[in-house]
Structure 1
Amino acid sequence: MTPSPDDTVRLTTSQAVVRFLVAQHVERDGERSRFFAGCFGIFGHGNVAGLGQALLQAELETPEGEEPALPYVLGRNEQAMVHTAVAYARAKDRLQAWAVTASVGPGSTNMLTGAALATINRLPVLLLPADTFATRSAGPLLQELELPSSGDVTVNDAFRPLSRYFDRVWRPQQLPGALMSAMRVLTDPAETGAVTIAIPQDVQAEAHDWPLELFAERTWHVGRPLPQPDALARAVEVVRSARRPLLVAGGGVVYSRATEELRALVEATGVPVGQSQAGKGSLPFDHPASVGAIGSTGTTAANALAREADVVIGVGTRYQDFTTASRTAFQHPGVQFVNVNVAGLDAVKHAGVSVVADAREALTALTAALQGWSVDDGYRQEVARLRAEWDATVARAYDRAAAEGGDLSAQPTQSQVLGAVNELSDPRDVVVCAAGSMPGDLHKLWQVRDAKGYHVEYGYSCMGYEVAGGIGVRMACPDRDVFVMVGDGSYLMMATELVTAVQEGVKVVVVLVQNHGFASIGALSEELGSQRFGTRYRARSASSHRLDGDLLPVDLAANAESFGIHVVRTHSRKELEAAILDARASTTATVIHVETDPFVGAPSSRSWWDVPVAETSTLESTRRAREVYEQHKAEQRPHLTPSDPAGA
């Protein structure tokens, strides 16, 4: 039935998009909020007269003194804008998101990395890249991809494999279906990720008579799927058979806000908890059941327990290779897995008993079903001993003795830098990181005191995420200080978002660790027999013609100052501590610049990560590394034995 003129409103496609986004709400557990917090964008010829005009019109139509319903934030790099949006969504437990628009061509394709990061981390973001003309009236366009074999492919088709949902709106009539499908995916915890709706630039500006019902307030309800009774019973049977169980807490525990339910389960049963990068914070570090990080960047406590665990209970984890130490972490010959996850894709991994359910609901059901069962006292004592040993290791790495009267004038190590920030920040403050050596050091060393106090992007581990991500976290959590930990290599990838922090008055504290190169890959290169080749920032030598000359005279502190940021240069632990306290007291963004020695690493996890080494080489260092590699490869396990009691 065609709507009557009284039931329609004439708007451009872009104006319709903006009005639709404003009307979308989300509800979970009785809490309702607007789903879209705003729109990030950089305008070019593809979207300036379309979405740009629509966002301007919406702002100008906002009553004086009120904030726009869909505020616009200008970014400096399209990829970084997506990172900021993703960090915001993670801090909001996926219950609020941003739209991000860019112009046709390189502006749009710059967002591809951000799309991959969002989808891999299962975090919602709506991407609105401009596209070429639907009418093809002006083709070939500036920045248009021309293929001899196809007339309907554009550069935006590269978003297809990176998006959980992709659509292209060739005609205005297609927009309602695309928007509804986008919302379905964005608000589904099991399906969420990057959603891309490409809109040709002529369609963006085209007017259409839209049904008013398209813009009515709509609430998307985020449910909590319950575990099926039979699946729960199978899981309980496996857990009750365990003598040395271990629970692996992933990001799903945090996103489901199931930390109290996790605490109740482990306090009732005594099951120790190891945590993935996304799951770190699901238990505070000092809880008796918390054995800290697990896997390649884990604690020796968690990894020792993992090696002997006979039942592994994964809750909200996708068992990424760092979590499983490339499938070498769990060595018990009869190890069984129970997998609780809202996504069926993750629930079936390692041939485990699959419990497809919301983490909070499943943990509550498991606690009730396991009433009266617990691990024995000997296992509890072993957990306590391993915890105490690791706590002592962290204390040595943080060098608390030096902080209490030793030499505070010496150049700090990276572990000491992390320790100073950890100890001087507030328990509710948030640490943000993504790439280099610091994510691994943070995973094993950082002592989390609040469920939302740890934000390390390690699904894609994208260099350059840190500053942009820190801005997103602070925008989502304005009552928490945000400490961005970033190395010089990652800083150089995307430092320009500091300008956005200044523009929006977003306070972040960026701890910029200068170690003159890629510390993480440098150490890995050495371990794999590649002698740190190409990992240090050095000039090309005139004699060797290699990058082994003097260190580059790069002044990153001066670079940060040029963006209008307050910068503090520190050269010792004492100066660093003073800078941290001053930054906390400040109301504006601060960059703390500190030099460290890249050759002083963090304590070992006594674990492994599978990075193939050259099978044949003339280099002795590579041959030795290959021998070690083959020893570890022999410990890899496929984990294909059924954990299902009925199928065993």
Structure 2
Amino acid sequence: MQYTGARILIEALIEQGVDTVFGYPGGSVLFIYDELYKQRDRIRHILVGHEQHAAHAADGYARSTGKVGVCIATSGPGATNLVTGIATAAMDSVPMVAITGNVSTNLLGKDSFQEVDIAGITMPVVKHNWIVKDVNALAETVREAFIVAQSGRPGPVLIDIPKDITAAPGEWIPLRANGKGPIKNIESISANRLAAGITSEGEDNVLSARARRLVTRNRRPTFTDEDIDRAVSLLREARRPMIYAGGGVIISDASGELLQLVERLNAPVALSLMGVGAFPREHRLYTGLIGMHGTVASNKAVQKSDLLIAVGARFSDRVTSSADHFAKGAKVLHFDIDPAEVNKNVEAHAWVVGDIKKIITKLLKDLPQHIKTDWEGNIEKWKEKIPKAHHSGSSILHPRFIIEETAKRLGHDAIVATDVGQHQIWTAQFYPFTQPRSFLTSGGLGTMGFGLGAAIGAKVANPKRPTVLFTGDGSFRMNCGELATIGSYHIPILIVIINNTVLGMVRQWQTLFYEERYSETTLDRPPDFVKLADAYGLRGYRAENEKTFVEALDFAMKDLSSGCGALIDARINRDEKVLPMVPGGKPIDEQILI
């Protein structure tokens, strides 16, 4: 079939199971947007207010579902506006396909209007990128992009398409099953299936040679029986094993296997920020967050352990603080899909490289049903050490009250997005997460302004799940224009601004380490967020104490049930702190608790 490049692109996206794309049009993508208009009954486009939030929305879509998120931007500034969102996805291993337009091929490299080398710019923050200069290579490029984005350690990729390629005619050959015609079941030809190496002869015929090599590589086992035997030996010998789990557990859908491993070892388990939701909060062996804002129980257990088992986690500086003093008395056993993470930040005694679900499944077959440990009640004792800042005290409206009351209303099935700062850590500390893919936050890059776009993507992908954004007034100023997206599409998201009129986390550092010199961190300035919500067609409420917050929640829940977004401007004391806290460079068991 002869189609334009734009039509081939849309057909290839639909073939991969894409139902929604997020983007913003411009001159270089006009043919693509014209085709989106023609195919609007087959694929949905969400118009955002800024390209950065198209990337964040695609990111939230992916994090909440495990599917690939897709975003589109025009050339030049449209493409560069995606970069922060792409880098955010890269740091947190989120599968995303970013599609950018570019000037026509005869104008490339001539400093044409709205031309940038987006492939060169994004090279450090993508798994791979492509510039498509032949319309007949477009379909296989899209197929390859989805394989790369999802296979191994997931991450973002970028496809740059010059404008003339989107207009040029080309041959569209859909994926086929056994040479008997196009497959009608999209799931059977999705990248998930290709990444697993399940392809028919007919499908192989329309996959690029590189894509076939990628599929073949993904069939290969990444660990050996000897790797597992070495791990089992260490686990059998340990008397004080400790598990440190991260986002890799969620990505590999291994939460159930992690629970079995924890109970088999009778070992305490701590989570990184990216691992929140991978393990049930109320479980007796859960010790909470680890690292800079980790609990006393988590941080002490790591330092007292004789075997630290890192599961899908990368030993970031926010976890280890001083790597030289981290888990000094422990052997380190590292499970990760990415061999580049092994021995990068902390030296491992042994490791198993591969999919976390497969690794744990194999371990469980070889481990005894119960392994005795010597923690002897220490974990329970350390759990009792909670900072006074976790309680309301003299505060009229405390972050813990805000978060826990919201959780009671939304239930365990809610998706929770955050921006970055104090509210982010409070949410991880106080929200009762019970399942994976419920907590969406920028853990690696720490992107202020991430939250609202991510919440939009998550809610679009999961219309039946309640969705809330906890944000700070500093972060929310960076993305509040996306209220237009919520209002125009009637997306019922609850936004809770934990408003202390300052850049709270930076102010906390200034209080503790800079003799209270509050340089440029006070934000007692417009806008009035309640009036802003009204201007964008949302319901806005202000709360300054527990009573008015509960009342605002009551109203907001009614708004959500009617399909309207709602915003609560919750005013808290500007000197509330996130505790515990480990000063930079100190061992993680040297914590500030007061």
TM tier relative to shorter chain = 0.7 to 0.9
Question: For residue 386 of structure 1, what is the aligned residue in structure 2?
Answer: 382
- The one of 559, 566, 586 equivalent to 1:590 is 566
- The one of 571, 581, 584 equivalent to 1:609 is 584
Instruction: State yes or no: 1:187 paired with 2:182.
Output: no
Shift in Å at residue 226 of structure 1? 6.9
Is 381-390 or 591-600 further displaced after alignment?
A: 381-390
Contact 2:322 2:587 in 1 (8 A): no
Question: For residue 507 of structure 2, what is the aligned residue in structure 1?
Answer: 522
Contact 1:11 1:208 in 2 (8 A): yes
Instruction: State yes or no: 1:429 paired with 2:421.
Output: no
- The one of 471, 477, 498 equivalent to 1:513 is 498
Instruction: State yes or no: 1:23 paired with 2:15.
Output: yes
Question: For residue 4 of structure 2, what is the aligned residue in structure 1?
Answer: 12
**Structure 2 CA distance for partners of 1:266 and 1:424, relative to 1, 3 Å:** same
Instruction: State yes or no: 1:337 paired with 2:332.
Output: yes
1:435-454 equivalence runs, <5 A: 435-454=420-439
Deviations 1:527-567 (A, max 9, x none): 332744434336xxxxxxxxxxxx43531221222111111
> CA–CA distance in 2 between the matches of 1:443 and 1:159?
30
Aligned pairs, how many?
A: 551
Contact 1:295 1:329 in 2 (8 A): no
Question: For residue 70 of structure 1, what is the aligned residue in structure 2?
Answer: 43
Question: For residue 55 of structure 1, what is the aligned residue in structure 2?
Answer: 36
Is 344-353 or 160-169 further displaced after alignment?
A: 344-353
Tell me which amino acid in the other structure corresponds to 1:455: L
Contact 1:339 1:346 in 2 (8 A): no
Instruction: State yes or no: 1:414 paired with 2:367.
Output: no
Deviations 1:90-125 (A, max 9, x none): 1112xx223211111111110010111111111111
Question: For residue 575 of structure 1, what is the aligned residue in structure 2?
Answer: 548
Question: For residue 346 of structure 1, what is the aligned residue in structure 2?
Answer: 341
Is 442-451 or 178-187 further displaced after alignment?
A: 442-451
Tell me which amino acid in the other structure corresponds to 1:275: L
% identity of equivalent residues:
23
- The one of 358, 361, 367 equivalent to 1:361 is 358
Instruction: State yes or no: 1:108 paired with 2:83.
Output: no
Contact 2:288 2:295 in 1 (8 A): yes
Shift in Å at residue 301 of structure 1? 0.8
Question: For residue 142 of structure 1, what is the aligned residue in structure 2?
Answer: 113
1:24-43 equivalence runs, <5 A: 24=16, 34=17, 36-43=18-25
**Structure 2 CA distance for partners of 1:269 and 1:212, relative to 1, 3 Å:** closer
> CA–CA distance in 1 between the matches of 2:554 and 2:125?
41
Question: For residue 310 of structure 2, what is the aligned residue in structure 1?
Answer: 314
Secondary structure of residue in 1 paired with 2:377: helix
- The one of 565, 570, 574 equivalent to 2:538 is 565
Question: For residue 68 of structure 2, what is the aligned residue in structure 1?
Answer: 97
Deviations 1:581-628 (A, max 9, x none): 4323432211011111121213324x3434xxxxxxxxxxxxxxxxxx
Tell me which amino acid in the other structure corresponds to 2:527: V
Is 161-170 or 129-138 further displaced after alignment?
A: 129-138
Contact 1:274 1:302 in 2 (8 A): yes
Secondary structure of residue in 2 paired with 1:100: strand
Secondary structure of residue in 2 paired with 1:292: strand
Secondary structure of residue in 2 paired with 1:263: helix
Contact 1:297 1:444 in 2 (8 A): no
Secondary structure of residue in 1 paired with 2:39: helix
Secondary structure of residue in 2 paired with 1:496: helix
Shift in Å at residue 437 of structure 1? 1.2
**Structure 2 CA distance for partners of 1:229 and 1:529, relative to 1, 3 Å:** same
Instruction: State yes or no: 1:240 paired with 2:240.
Output: no
Question: For residue 170 of structure 2, what is the aligned residue in structure 1?
Answer: 208
**Unaligned 5+ runs, structure 2:** 184-188, 197-218
Question: For residue 163 of structure 1, what is the aligned residue in structure 2?
Answer: 126
Instruction: State yes or no: 1:556 paired with 2:549.
Output: no
> CA–CA distance in 2 between the matches of 1:458 and 1:568?
29
**Structure 2 CA distance for partners of 1:143 and 1:453, relative to 1, 3 Å:** closer
Secondary structure of residue in 1 paired with 2:303: helix
Shift in Å at residue 144 of structure 1? 3.2
More helix by share: 2
Instruction: State yes or no: 1:464 paired with 2:427.
Output: no
Shift in Å at residue 383 of structure 1? 1.6
> CA–CA distance in 2 between the matches of 1:633 and 1:75?
41
Tell me which amino acid in the other structure corresponds to 2:353: V
Question: For residue 489 of structure 2, what is the aligned residue in structure 1?
Answer: 504
Contact 1:297 1:441 in 2 (8 A): no
> CA–CA distance in 2 between the matches of 1:553 and 1:115?
30
Shift in Å at residue 380 of structure 1? 4.8
Contact 2:64 2:438 in 1 (8 A): no
Secondary structure of residue in 1 paired with 2:273: coil
Shift in Å at residue 428 of structure 1? 1.9
Question: For residue 136 of structure 2, what is the aligned residue in structure 1?
Answer: 173
Shift in Å at residue 435 of structure 1? 0.5
> CA–CA distance in 2 between the matches of 1:283 and 1:178?
37
> CA–CA distance in 2 between the matches of 1:155 and 1:361?
37
- TM-score computed with the length of structure 1 as normaliser: 0.80
Contact 1:398 1:419 in 2 (8 A): no
Tell me which amino acid in the other structure corresponds to 2:569: H
> CA–CA distance in 2 between the matches of 1:227 and 1:38?
36
Secondary structure of residue in 2 paired with 1:123: coil
Shift in Å at residue 389 of structure 1? 3.8
Instruction: State yes or no: 1:199 paired with 2:174.
Output: no
Contact 2:12 2:139 in 1 (8 A): no
**Structure 2 CA distance for partners of 1:242 and 1:120, relative to 1, 3 Å:** same
Alpha carbon RMSD of aligned pairs, Å? 2.6
> CA–CA distance in 2 between the matches of 1:211 and 1:284?
46
> CA–CA distance in 2 between the matches of 1:326 and 1:448?
29
Shift in Å at residue 247 of structure 1? 0.3
Secondary structure of residue in 2 paired with 1:374: coil
**Structure 2 CA distance for partners of 1:21 and 1:281, relative to 1, 3 Å:** same
- TM-score computed with the length of structure 2 as normaliser: 0.87
Shift in Å at residue 234 of structure 1? 0.8
Structure with bigger gyration radius: 1
> CA–CA distance in 2 between the matches of 1:269 and 1:524?
38
**Structure 2 CA distance for partners of 1:271 and 1:322, relative to 1, 3 Å:** same
Deviations 1:462-491 (A, max 9, x none): 111111111122222222211211011100
> CA–CA distance in 2 between the matches of 1:295 and 1:138?
46
